[in-house]
Structures are given as C-alpha cells and as structure tokens.
Structure 1
C-alpha cells in the first residue's frame, strides 16, 4: 500500500483514500492514498503501465475503482457520474468542435450549464484575453495553429471554473519549441486562476518545469511524492534517481571492515554522504552529472576513457566509459577545457554531493 501524508495547513481539494483498480489478476493501481491541496499543480509522472493514467481516469469518473474513495471538497464523489463531478478535462488531442468558432467552443460548457447570456459573454471575453486569443475569437479550429488550438482547449476548461482541472499529456502532440512555450502559458494560467491542476505526463523535464509537487509512479503505486527539487536532489530510490533527470548510479555492498563505512563497488570503495543511513547490506549511491568534476581530490574518484563530448550551448556533456565497463555522464560548464575522444579522464565528486538509496 502507498501512503502519502496530508499537506498540513491547506484545505484539501482532493482526497484519495485507498483507491485501487484490478482487471482480473492484473493490478492497475495498488491501494493508494493521496491528498491534493486547493490550488496545487500536481503532476502524475511515470513510465507506461505505472498507474498514472488509471488514477487520473478514476478521479474524473471514466474508470470505476475496485476499492477506495474519492473526496472532492470534502464530498464523496466515488460513484458520481463523470458529467456531475465539476472537473475540467484537457487531452493531448484537443477535441475541439470543428464547426464552432473559437468563441463558440469556449462558450459550450457555459451554455450546457445554462448561464445567462451576459455572464457567458463576459467569461468568454475574460478567458480569451487570458490566453491571448481575443483577436481570433471568430476563427474555426482548422484556421489555427497547434499551439492556438491547445490554448482554446485550455480556455474551454478554465472558463467554467471547475473544481479540478485534469490534463492528460496535453502537450504531447506539439514540437519541442512550442511545447516549452505552452509550458510557460500553462504555468501562467495556473498562477492567475489559482486552479487545482492534476497533470499526467511521462516527460520528466515537463514535470520539473510545471509542478508544485510531483507524484512519481512505478509498478502501479506511488514511488515518491515531493517538490521537483526534493525528487531531483533527494531521490528516495534508484528508480526515482534514474527516471528524474540524468543520474550516475553505483551499486554495491555496505562495508564496515576498515573502521569507516563505505560502499564496496567494482569501481572501488566509495565514501558515503555524511549521515547516510541504510537498512540492508546492499545499496547504491547516486551522483548527478553536474556534481562530478574532472580530476581527483579528496573525494571519490573513478577513471575511464572519453567516448564522446556533446556541446549543448550552456554545457558540455562528457561521456566516459570506466575501466570496469560502466558509463559516467558529466556536465561541464562552458569554457572549461574538455579532454578529447579516446583520452583518459579521472572523475571525482564530493561524497556529500551524492545520495544513498536502497
């Protein structure tokens, strides 16, 4: 069972109590507990089959849970039909009505709720201005770019001020530059409206850029929950370290034979971070590429041969094959001398820059 502590001091918008889903002998989601405060941007992140989409679909009512409860604003919504849950949905494929203009697409959920004509007009005007599409109100979806269509889909979800907005891979169909631009727009919309957003993606960079918290999922359960900084800088498991960002992971056995606790690996005995705790004989240390430097020093060191150096503008990414057969990735700041292909390189890091994981 996965249990996540409540975020004290903030009124919960959503509470998940022991929610699970079984398809015969297959477990799509283990019994899971999760609390989402009002106004939070929470990202469900994980590989295919991790349970993130199943969880999202149960929250919105598209999938019936095998057990557990869903509370929205303190009310049990577990058996409430999807159209009565006051939830906005944004999908990867925008699902715009092709025969309606931009304004008419945005009006649609308001008309379904029988709002007055004057209120509909004002809300549509406000949200069009918010997504910077007021000059395109009379156009049809086919006359818009992909980014503009996505902004219409976002505006349609925000306009009726739903209790929660669920986004399922909403930027997956966009190219990299447009996706990065839309990330900024979604973040601004969230800041301006204070909406509670639950966002599903498999893109870890997107999750780091957008989220107040990330709910990292693996094997139908929550692997780790925390802020982007917490999950990146302090991964709780080797999976979390490997999935979020680029990591160098050295596995081994805890060795106390020489009066100092070290991790015995095939690359040598590495000093552990100060205060590191472990519960078993086997463990791993995680070092991010930016924490490794060229040269030795009084920290931990490994030696290998440079197999590639990738220039990326703000950094040079050095790929080094260690003598014992593993690969290490190093991020070097611009302007730092870089060894060439085939040259020997000694890499070092401060033990306290690493993280010990089970």
Structure 2
C-alpha cells in the first residue's frame, strides 16, 4: 500500500516498498510512505502489526528484505545506524547510570567531536528546553521516571538529528505522567521543528500528538491520515474499531440506499454506496441520541452504565450478542440499569466502510 502526503516541498523521509521477511514469516508487507520536514507521524497499531519493524528498518537496526529508505533525497538503505543521522528515544530511557544528567546529554555531542564551549552551551539549552536546568548535576537514579524520560528526550534533541524516532517512550509511565509528558513532547516538537516518527499502541496518545497517523494491521499500512480523518472517516471496520469507540452494524448495502442487517434496515449516508454490496455502518457513541430522531434508530436494554466524569457511557444490549454504546453529557438524563431504551442517529453522521 502506498500513501503520500500532499506537499509541494521535498519529503524529509521516503519509504519505498520497504519489506521484511523472516523465512516464511512476513514482519512487514511492502510499504511506502512520505514524511514531510517537521512532521509528527505516529505509527499506531496492535502488537504484531509491523510498526516497530518499520521503525527499525528506517533507522537501520534491521536489514530490509527489499525496498529503500531515502532521507533528504539520499538513499540510505545500506548505511549503518550511526551514519543515518537519526536520533532514537526508547521506552526504557537507556541513560548512563554513572554519568550525571548534564553528562548524559553531552555524550552524543562529545562523540561527534563538538568543541567544549559548544557542548556546554547546547547542554544548557537542552536542559532549559526540558525544564531541568536545576538538575544537571544529579545522577539518573536521583530522578523520577518522568524526569529521566525528559533527560532521554534532551539527549536526543541536543545534537539536532535529521529525524527523531521514538519507540513507545511513555510506555513505562503511569497514566497521569504519560499525559503530562505528551504535552511536553508536543511543546518540544513545536519549538524545535523536528521531524518525529513515534511508535505507540495507545490510540489516545496517537490522537493527541500526531500531525498524521499511520495505522498498521497485519504487517501492512491500514490507513494514513490526520487524527480527525481517521477518527471521523475510517476506511475499514478495523480502523473504526481500533481508533476510538465505535458502534458497527454489518450487513448488505441495498439499491434503495439502506443497509440490510439481521437487526433491521438502516439508511445509509446520502449518496454513499458499497461497491461489493457487503458493508458496515460505523456510528460513534457521541452521535447517538436517546429517543427517536429523523433518521435511524435501534432499541435495546441497558446492560451497563459507566461514569467517566465529563461523560456517562451507556452500554445497551440488543439481539443475541449485539451492543451499542452512547455517550451522554453531564446534563443529560441517564437511564437505569435494565431499562429498555431507543437510540437514534442522523444517517449522515454514520460512515459506511467495506
């Protein structure tokens, strides 16, 4: 599958037909994509989807079976890792325990033979960038997890690599700290203008951070687009189900503009048709409303109610094994457990996928 960003400027990175096989096992199907200068692209998908393999192929940690990696117009497919001018940030910080924070950040500059005065200045700037200027003399063991991850980020940003690759860098942090670090990474990206390729399996993280998301499944690219495009216009049932919460009704698209399912007929979005007849309607929980409306509706019995602060999720069962989920705002009346309810949605708020 080939996906490219519409941009008149030359891409920072081009992946052309990149593929990796281990004997009879395919870790990555032939895949192509372009990444623009200064873009934040997230590789998102479940375990085994090929996202980490693609990242390792880009930086040279793994040798490709076929395909090319082109950075700034130069084919770097055969270059070793240390010659690709790529920075790496890992999940487990990989800080040197015997070096201070400042020495850890200075390490890549010294390895590149930068003058001492330049090293001192750039380390100070990197420490200030991650708001750790007062901790330069400490050792990693004296820092919290979030502070250690900031040091790892600073060590990568300090020498201004052509591309920065991040492999689940927040995976070891708790939820609140992850959310705080997401804000820090967005700020660092904005202020530095760096080109970042970021691997995660966390959909909320991908939505929060990315300029574009490359959604992967079964060792191939499933869909590539902005967070809004993938959330609001998923192209497949997998994309709809993996990104956010979805209500999915499967059936056969009929000539009269409806989807015939075992639970009834539902109007399709106006002008939408399914090429092979088989399809699925995707309705996000926030587009469902309690009661009848001018459009589609479905009935069920409330099986679960989940209070989540700013919203309440109502999960209703219908048929033998079906369910639908509504998101109710803080001012909306919440039905009781076991109540029979009807939920409706306007046909143009649904998406038909193949």
Is 1:311 paired with 2:311? no
1:332 is matched with: 328
What's 1:117 paired with?
A: 116
Partner of 1:82: 81
Tell me the residue number matched to 1:294.
290
CA distance in 1, matches of 2:88, 2:155: 9
Partner Cα separation in structure 1 for residue 335 and residue 99 of structure 2:
59
Distance across 2 between alignment mates of 1:86 and 1:165: 9
> How far, CA to CA, are the matches of 1:324 and 1:338 in structure 2?
24
Q: How does 1:232-247 map to 2 (within 5 A)?
A: 232-247=231-246
In 1, Cα distance between equivalents of 2:320 and 2:307 = 26
SS at match of 1:111: helix
Task: State the alpha-carbon separation in 2 of the partners of residues 301 and 89 from structure 1.
Answer: 50
Deviation at 1:278, TM superposition (A): 1.4
Q: What residue number does 1:347 align with?
A: 343
* CA shift for structure 1 position 325: 3.1
Aligned-partner Cα distance in 2 for 1:337–1:30: 49
Q: Which residue in the other structure is 2:281 paired with?
A: 285
Deviations 1:243-269 (A, max 9, x none): 00000000001123xxx2210011110
For normalisation by structure 1, the TM-score amounts to 0.98
Q: What residue ranges of structure 2 are gaps of 5+ in the alignment?
A: none
1:106-158 Cα shifts (integer Å, max 9, x gaps): 00000000000111011001110010000000000000000000000000000
Alignment of 1:28-107 (within 5 A): 28-107=27-106
Contact kept in structure 2, 1:303 and 1:323, CA below 8 Å: no
How big is each residue's C-alpha offset from its partner over 1:199-226, in whole Å with a ceiling of 9 and x where there is no partner? 0000000000000000000111100000
Q: 1:321 — aligned with what? A: 317
Is residue 301–residue 338 contact of structure 2 (8 Å, CA) maintained in 1?
Answer: yes
Report if the CA contact (8 A) 1:7-1:35 is conserved.
Answer: no
* Partner SS, residue 166 of structure 1: strand
Aligned residues of 2:257 and 2:273 also touching (Cα < 8 A): no
Deviations 1:159-191 (A, max 9, x none): 000000000000000000000000000000000
Give the 3-state SS of the residue equivalent to 1:106 in structure 2. helix
Matched, 1:134 2:118: no
Let me know the Cα RMSD of the aligned residues. 0.8
Structure 1, 13-22 or 144-153: larger mean CA deviation: 13-22
The question of whether the paired residues in 1 share the 8 Å contact of 2:253 and 2:273 is answered with: no
Length, aligned pairs only: 354
Shift of residue 324, structure 1, vs aligned partner: 4.7
Contact 1:266/1:324, CA 8 A, preserved across alignment: no
1:167 corresponding residue in structure 2: 166
Q: Quick check: 1:273 aligned with 2:269?
A: yes
Q: Alpha-carbon deviation of 1:37?
A: 0.4
Matches of 2:118 and 2:77, distance apart in 1? 31
What are the Cα deviations for residues 40-79 of structure 1, in whole angstroms up to 9, with x where unaligned?
0000000111111100001010000000110111111001
Tell me, in whole angstroms, the C-alpha distance in 2 between the residues paired with 1:7 and 1:28: 28
The answer as to whether partners of 2:200 and 2:206 remain within 8 angstroms in 1 is yes
**Structure 2 CA distance, aligned partners of 1:87 and 1:325?**
49
CA contact (8 A) 2:93 2:152 kept: yes
What SS is found at the alignment partner of 1:170? coil
TM-score of the aligned structures, taking structure 2 as reference length? 0.99
- Looking at structure 2, the residues matched to 231 and 174 of structure 1 have their Cα atoms a distance apart, in angstroms, of 26
- Measure the CA separation in 2 of the matches of 1:297 and 1:16: 47
